[in-house]
Structure 1
């Protein structure tokens, strides 16, 4: 299997089993040891490569242990501290890593709960672990741009110099991306003020702040929808379906979908169209493009579900995205008799597993 496929397989294992994991030891056995062996490629049963419960007495702190130390040529290269999968990671959990980092040759420290892996080095001061990670791997939302960097830490192609040299850029780009994502979800006052002062000439009063908080949030969602539409347009340009769609038709498709998205966002103030719903819609639309021209696939949001329709017609439902629940998400797909079958999903990528049913639904309405 390719490296990315191995990551995806482990991510699926974590997704399927995490609810059954309640202790730190179970987290190590089920998730972290497979990460060390399958992803990084080290033999967890060879003490010349992986040392569990690694001890290196530090000052007055005697007998403290780091969960794992990865060795190369007899020297410690990577330290790993583990927490149980049900526990969110905090920098306070890394106290042993801070101490051990200064007294070993390790240049990489990892704090993990089996689902999220935070990678640290010593960019701010030599031999002193940074307080912020330079790379964050979330197995529930893998950033594909980080995969090449992660691979540099594997046994077969271990390239410490290369990853250290790239660490500063990775650190700040990662922090900026996470900040932008947080602002898209819930814009803070500074973010709202930044855009308000560039779009509105008056004073930034409390009333204006409240008004523009909603506008900035809505504009952010529409901007992201535009970007997804542009990527879809590019993909259509290289697909087998593309020759049946002229360049002007493709442009019209993108414009129409933007107008529809904007109209739906404004249709009912009590309905909140989320980024996740828009992303799910684009996945359904991409699948549908093998059967019909993309401008025929539209959406309407409702309080309890997000509908994907053919020809903007309620009598031609393709799918419904049930993403408003606090726990389980569902994608509902309609058959030719307009009966909806709901399928539970844990991530948007799982919509692709139902591509055949989505195409069959379209075929039942497209005539």
Structure 2
């Protein structure tokens, strides 16, 4: 399973389970430790993740931060955790003290849902007051996922992240200023536009009048932009639908297909099994009335396996040999038993592709 799928799965898990989590310790176990694992770190290896990391603060000895991500025996990220329902705003001072007393370059304050990332852009070894990156795990945008991926163990590059942090810090602050000015235009912001269009002196009375003009103009501009994009998207969709109606007959059987949560879980398991041998973006699924097929390159001639979960018993079809082999499984975990056969089926198509490429040379 690739990083994006892992984080998406964790976000769904958090949204589903949060109301059952009663304590801060349970929040750590259910939400934050899986998050650290998504970043590629072994939470059970103290050389990678140290729980209750001691950060002595001046004369106060034995102060502990919840987790420290370690590299070469030194902390590189400190993680301070709170209960999932806690407001994070009053708690960054504690992380601030820990940060100052260690060699870590990043501090993360989180309740398992809301994540705030800090560093020391303003003054070295002194944590900034404002986070340079923050997100909600159950509402993570694609661009946020890409930024988060930079903290993964396999992609971690300190210099690159520091540069990214600087960019994020200022772009986020500018976005906040824009949002504030659009909601309640300041005198300076309003005066800039008033001077550009008003022919006489901009008095206090004119300035107050223009605040309303600026706010309405911006709202109208944004609405017009959104409507244009929606209109363009709808036109493209309608053109595509017309094209599909002309070129492809409607399959009434497809309207009866229901893809279950269990089938999707099976797909993600198979995708994770294939990941060491096959790029994740090449693995697709197609659901039919009789089976749930998993294939390479979205090509029906390249089946990896099929899940038969619609009956009383569960079956798995394998394609590592010349003919389809159908075996009974008791539950989803049994899919791991057939890891070698599933990988062999995918490698067969990869080998065919390589042979075809050599033949064209």
Query: Does TM, scored on the shorter chain, surpass 0.5?
Result: yes
Question: What CA deviation, in whole Å up to 9, does each residue of 1:215-252 have, x standing for no partner?
Answer: 6555444333333333334545655725969xxxxxxx
Question: What CA deviation, in whole Å up to 9, does each residue of 1:160-212 have, x standing for no partner?
Answer: 1101122111101012223434555xx22517962795366664449945x95
Q: Secondary structure at the match of 2:186?
A: helix
Instruction: Say which of 87, 96, 120 aligns to 1:98.
Output: 96
Distance 1:217 1:95 in 2: 36
Structure 1 unmatched runs, 5+: 246-289, 292-367
Shift of 1:8: 2.3
Question: What CA deviation, in whole Å up to 9, does each residue of 1:55-113 have, x standing for no partner?
Answer: 121211212111110112222111001122212211x4123322232332211111111
Distance 1:127 1:192 in 2: 35
Cross-structure match for 1:280? none
Contact 1:193–1:204, Cα closer than 8 Å, also in 2: no
1:63 aligns with 2:62: yes
Aligned length: 241
**Larger relative contact order (C-alpha < 8 A, sep ≥ 6)?**
2
1:29 aligns with 2:29: yes
Contact 1:22–1:86, Cα closer than 8 Å, also in 2: no
Highest Rg: 1 or 2?
2
Cross-structure match for 1:80? 79
Contact 2:117–2:133, Cα closer than 8 Å, also in 1: yes
Cross-structure match for 1:10? 10
> TM-score, structure 2 length as denominator?
0.58
Q: How does 1:44-193 map to 2 (within 5 A)?
A: 44-90=43-89, 92-182=90-180, 184=182, 187-190=183-186
Contact 1:117–1:136, Cα closer than 8 Å, also in 2: yes
Shift of 1:11: 2.0
CA RMSD, Structure 1 to Structure 2 (Å): 3.2
Contact 2:187–2:207, Cα closer than 8 Å, also in 1: no
Cα 1:22–1:221, aligned 2, differ >3 Å: closer, same or farther? farther
Shift of 1:54: 0.8
Distance 2:238 2:193 in 1: 46
> TM-score, structure 1 length as denominator?
0.57
Shift of 1:117: 0.9
Question: What CA deviation, in whole Å up to 9, does each residue of 1:111-153 have, x standing for no partner?
Answer: 1111111111111111111111111122244243232221111
Structure 2 unmatched runs, 5+: 246-361
Cα 1:207–1:51, aligned 2, differ >3 Å: closer, same or farther? same
Distance 2:113 2:179 in 1: 19
Distance 1:189 1:223 in 2: 15
Cross-structure match for 2:342? none
Question: What CA deviation, in whole Å up to 9, does each residue of 1:344-364 have, x standing for no partner?
Answer: xxxxxxxxxxxxxxxxxxxxx
Distance 2:13 2:41 in 1: 19
Cross-structure match for 2:290? none
Distance 1:241 1:172 in 2: 41
Distance 2:127 2:76 in 1: 13
Cα 1:16–1:176, aligned 2, differ >3 Å: closer, same or farther? farther
Q: Secondary structure at the match of 2:19?
A: helix
